[in-house]
Structure 1
Amino acid sequence: MKKTMTFSRLSVGLLAGVMLVISGCSSSNQSAPSTTTPAPGKGDQPAKTEAQGPVTLTVWMGSWWAEKVPEIVSAYKKDYPNVTLKIETLPINGYLDKAISSELGGNSPDVLDLDITMLPAMAGKDMLETWDNYIKDLDVNDFHAGAWNGSKINGKMYGLPNRGESSVFFYNKTMFDEAGVSYPTDNWTQEDMLEMAKKITVAGKKYGVGIAASNSDPSNVFSSFSPVLWSYGGDFLNKENTEAIINKPEGVKAITFWTELYTKHKVVPEGSVNFALTKDVMPMFLNNQVAMMPNSSSMVDMLKKNPQVKWGMVLQPNKFGRTGGWSFTLPKSSKNKDAARQFVLWYMKPENMGKLNVVFPSRKSATNVPPWSEPEMQFLLSAAPYQKAMPAVAAWTEMQTVIVTELQKVLTGAKTPQQAADEMAKQMNALLKK
């Protein structure tokens, strides 16, 4: 199936087959409902816990939820008038540190939304309650596999995902057309991407591809770097998550390729060592200065707000993408655990998630309503089988910092790829032993 999207025409086959493709990550046989309202996943039942008496429930979520907060509060008040929902939105920078500090201080929110890469850090410190006794009626196969599995550590569920993302490549058609370069297709490779980037780049004016290497947003860095690592057969840890293998030849080759986009080929913008995809690369894409970049549903939303940009989507080079997700967790020091469980299980209903999410829903049955039912979003669903997740280990947050710091040293010429990879492995193995 050709995965390249040109939104002047979309094959009927892709739309009809999206839910079948995504089920490659699961065994769900649920068909899409014909109505405009998402149907509940098979076996879903109302929450078995219920708050008694007036309750003020505090919820922490990322700052990107701010515009939806009033709607969420209003919808919940209609179903549970005895609960006052207080949602606080926080910036991504320092989010995990603040969450850990609040739990250590005994003043955590009742519900804490966590990126699945953050979740192991708190679960590993025994800061989160488990959900296993409260989700027997949830249809697991209806959830994005990467987000669901990323919320599970050592066989226990520490979060219920509200967001499940697939990462693909976006390309700027205007820049491709001006350079006389054919658009990428779903069978392209990293080497194909580099050759396209070389033809498009005009030093100091426009660049073929954008990367992220800033420690201010590690998630962006791994959306940029991880697919390259996997493309060359490398990985961060072994299958058992007991040893770092990033310094193996495959890993070093990937680091070399990725950093040379900046140091040798100069097909990425100057200053990329301090760039984040969302904050820095995306504006350049919108201004016809960067021709290609990895991203997910947030990019689709931004592009729709900028109709002057001509663009398309394609699977990542070599198809690998980094899956992402956020999950509602229940901190141990939550003061209102029953009310917290009630809210989260209410939100897990596909009709609520589909209507209230500002990010891509974790449930397939929540994507049958706009904007999730639109072709661009459905393409992201079809990319799910090609996604891989970050290691679910307690020390992953610290490992991220180590990896990004060492990548920056290669980008600035302070270390060779092998030297940086060896240091990464050394520090990662030390963290695994703690």
Structure 2
Amino acid sequence: MKKIISSIMILFVLLVGCGSNTESNADGTNDETTTLTVWVMGSDDHWKTYHDDLIERFEQENKNIEVEVDYIPWAEGENKLVTAATNNRLPDVTTIAGRWTPQLVAMEAVEPLDSYFDEAFQESFVEGAWNTTQYQGSTWGLPIGFTTTGLFYRTDWLEDAGFNSPPTTWEEFVDVAKAFTAEDRYGFGLVGSNGMETTMFWAPFLWSNGGELLNDDLTEATFNSPEGVEALEFYTDLLLTHKVAPEGSINYGRGDSQDLFVSGAVGMTTVGPWFPKTLAQQAPEMEYSIAPYPVKKESANLGTADHIIMSKQSENKETAWTFMEFFTNEENDMKWAEYQGFIPYHKANLENDPRKDDPEFKVFFDVAPDAVVYPTMPEWPQIDQAIADAIQESLTGTKTPQQALDDAAEKVNLLLAK
């Protein structure tokens, strides 16, 4: 019997030894490799080139970590993430649109990060970008891809129309848009499709008029306030009354507005800091400049950030954090900002980036510290859709701005009451 037990123990030891990837070195360390699974939202070649390089540099610095990366098209991202979270199949780490993060948090699929960093780490990030990662008193990701937006306008058209400066108020904006509008062109590339990009175009006008999307404790819609109704009346009048936007605007997304500006079909659009690179490539002779959004009562600008998050189910959490730290460090923040045309999310980079003195980028840097961000909550995608639907209903004349926003607020309040 003792011989049998002894033989089993020897066999067990041999099997364990054969199954291990560990080889002890002279200094007591080992060469065991940890495989980290990573999803990156975005699948075009430009996107892949940057992230392939980042991962290669990470693996060079961390010889015992191997990264397996999958690139996910943005259009498929939300459904793929939710499905994976439902089935406990998320990767160790994934990049994600900031508006999706709370939804995965509510599914208990995201690892809270507060225990992984100290106060100095948090303080190194731009406040507006960092705030997008906060929900219910915890940190659920690290900011990446921080952007603000500005008003792009044709300087040659402005001069020809007799204006000395870009519009700074709503009234001036309408005057300039009217002056830009002619038989073969329009003043503003308005966005009206019933999707998130329509809310993005309209929200700064709401904030500029002193309105808010929701109340302070995020329990009730406030976008149908008098300030909100006035902001939607203004936005709707651009299309239906002043006729300074193309007739097809109710079907246009942000990309359509940009394309119209590039082609010379509209004289103004609102875009982020990546757009100058596009203009340099596609319309190098264009005369344009960038200004803040026109103001009704107070300056307002949309700030957005993507996130990088850790899966709660990950069995490699310390390794995942090592990757996330590298991904978002000051060096890679600056590399990504320059490569993609984004705004740095580290305070030091925001202050030292030479682009802040470039006329093409100065506006984005000026508004970054005080940029307004969307509410962080799992219901936001549905709220965003309700607002976009209301804007389109107003633009088509199906409902008055008041009716459209009131109906949307009723839907949102029912959602928030659950």
Q: TM-score, normalised by structure 1?
A: 0.81
* Per-residue deviation, residues 357-385 of structure 1 (Å, max 9, x unmatched): 53333113235467678553344111124
1:180 partner amino acid: G
1:286 aligns with 2:265: no
| CA offset digits 1:83-114 (Å, max 9, x no partner) | 22233333332422221111112211221212
Question: What is the match of residue 32 of structure 1?
Answer: none
Q: Distance in 2 between matches of 1:356 and 1:299?
A: 15
Q: In structure 2, give the amino acid aligned to 1:341.
A: W
Among all aligned residue pairs of Structure 1 and Structure 2, give the percentage whose two residues are the same amino acid: 29
Quick one: distance in 2 between partners of 1:353 and 1:254? Answer: 35
Structure 1 pair 59–365 and aligned structure 2 pair: CA distance change class (3 A): farther
Instruction: Name the aligned partner's letter for residue 265 of structure 2.
Output: Q
List aligned pairs for 1:285-434, cutoff 5 A. Answer: 285-305=261-281, 306-318=283-295, 319-357=299-337, 358=340, 359-367=342-350, 368=352, 374=358, 376-434=360-418
- Partner Cα distance (1:228, 1:240) in 2: 22
Q: How many residues align?
A: 378
- Aligned residue for 1:245? 222
Distance 1:198 1:386 in 2: 30
Decide whether aligned partners of structure 1 residues 52 and 339 sit closer, same or farther in structure 2, where only a CA change above 3 A counts: farther
Taking the aligned partners of 1:253 and 1:387, their CA distance within structure 2 comes to 22
Q: Is it true that 1:213 corresponds to 2:192 in the alignment?
A: yes
Large movers: runs of 4+ above 6 Å: 370-373
Q: How does 1:19-58 map to 2 (within 5 A)?
A: 53-58=33-38
Give a deviation string over 1:299-353, Cα, whole Å, max 9, x none: 1221232321211111111131111111111122335323221100112220122
What letter is aligned with 1:141?
Answer: E
**Pairing 1:255–2:239 present:** no
Q: Quick one: which amino acid aligns to residue 298 of structure 1?
A: W
Alignment correspondent of 2:14: none
What residue ranges of structure 2 are gaps of 5+ in the alignment? 1-30
Q: Residue 180 of structure 2 corresponds to which residue in structure 1?
A: 200
Q: 1:80 & 1:248 partners in 2: Cα distance?
A: 54
8 Å contact from structure 2 (residues 236, 395) kept in 1: yes
Q: 1:322 to 1:168 in 2, by over 3 A?
A: same
- If the length of structure 2 is used for normalisation, what is the TM-score? 0.84
Query: Which one has the bigger helix percentage?
Result: 2
Q: What is the CA-CA distance between 1:126 and the residue it aligns to? A: 2.0
Residues 52 and 361 from structure 1, CA distance in 2 versus in 1: closer, same or farther, beyond 3 angstroms? farther
Deviations 1:154-174, CA, capped at 9 Å, x for gaps: 110001112222221111223
The structure with higher relative contact order (CA 8 Å, sep 6+) is 1
| Structure 2 counterpart of 1:361, one-letter code | P
The within-5 A match list for 1:138-177 is 138-177=120-159
Alpha-carbon distance change, 78 to 350 in structure 1, aligned in 2, over 3 angstroms: same
Deviation at 1:399, TM superposition (A): 0.7
CA RMSD, Structure 1 to Structure 2 (Å): 2.2
User: Cα offset for 1:226?
Assistant: 0.5
CA distance in 2, matches of 1:175, 1:63: 37
Tell me, which stretches of 5 or more residues in structure 1 are unaligned?
1-50
For the pair shown, the structure with the greater C-alpha radius of gyration is: 2
Q: Is the 8 A contact 2:151 2:292 kept in 1?
A: yes
2:21 aligned residue: none
